[in-house]
Amino acid sequence: MSAVNVTNVTVLDNPAPFQNPFQFEISYECHQSLVDDLEWKLIYVGSAEDEKYDQILESVLVGPVNVGNYRFVFQADPPDASKIPEEDILGVTVLLLTCSYQGQEFVRVGYYVNNDYDEEKLREEPPAQVLLDRIQRNILADKPRVTKFPIIFDADTKLEENLVVPAPIEGPEPTGTTHVDESSLIEVS
């Protein structure tokens, strides 16, 4: 059993305008006290063709982490549209919510996101220049893709010998890391 289990992720403010912040209510349980903080990241896939367009929208450290059930709202700014190829702004993309411990990713929740104009006329006859203020973002919240990776949470925790620990996600560095202290979390009974 993993030391930390994500028990629920609720997408808030969905659908929403493209330029609105992303909001997720995350619930998780911790089965053992951890020495270090958990790192949560939200990554927007800017283009399926090249990961250089991926953007880390937010990275937060949550801790200290003690035994218990927790819930918090994770908010991130929308992607910088100037860093996305214009032909990839509209249509389907992917949003990744990840959690890592000591640089080891142990859970990834992926969502498909559909970006389209908010009006039928604009969808049928798109303007030559993308109108960001008219794009509606719809996260397919009822169909997340959850991937769990086995990791060593602390030195006294052992992995089975036949399990392979994947390397952490490679990608652009976050523009800023925010630390969320445990006192701002809601403990759930």
Q: In 10 A of CB 119, how many CB atoms?
A: 11
**DSSP string covering 55-110, please?**
EEEEEEEEE---SEEEEEEEEEPPP-GGGS-HHHHSEEEEEEEEEEETTEEEEEEE
pLDDT above 90 for 4:
yes
Q: pLDDT of 132-177, one tens digit each?
A: 999 999 999 999 999 999 999 986 545 433 344 444 444 444 444 4
Give the CATH class of 4-172.
Answer: mainly beta
Sort strands 16-17 and 4-12 into parallel, antiparallel or unpaired: unpaired
Q: Evaluate whether 99 touches 106 at the Cβ level (below 8 Å).
A: yes
Q: pLDDT of 9-55, one tens digit each?
A: 999 999 999 999 999 999 999 999 999 999 999 999 999 999 999 99
Distances from the Cα of 7 to the Cα of 34, 48, 63, 74, angstroms: 18, 29, 18, 15
pLDDT value at position 53? 96
- Domain extents in the chain: 4-172
Q: pLDDT of 94-145, one tens digit each?
A: 999 999 999 999 999 999 999 999 999 999 999 999 999 999 999 999 999 9
Does residue 168 have a cis peptide bond before it, meaning omega lies within 30 degrees of 0?
no
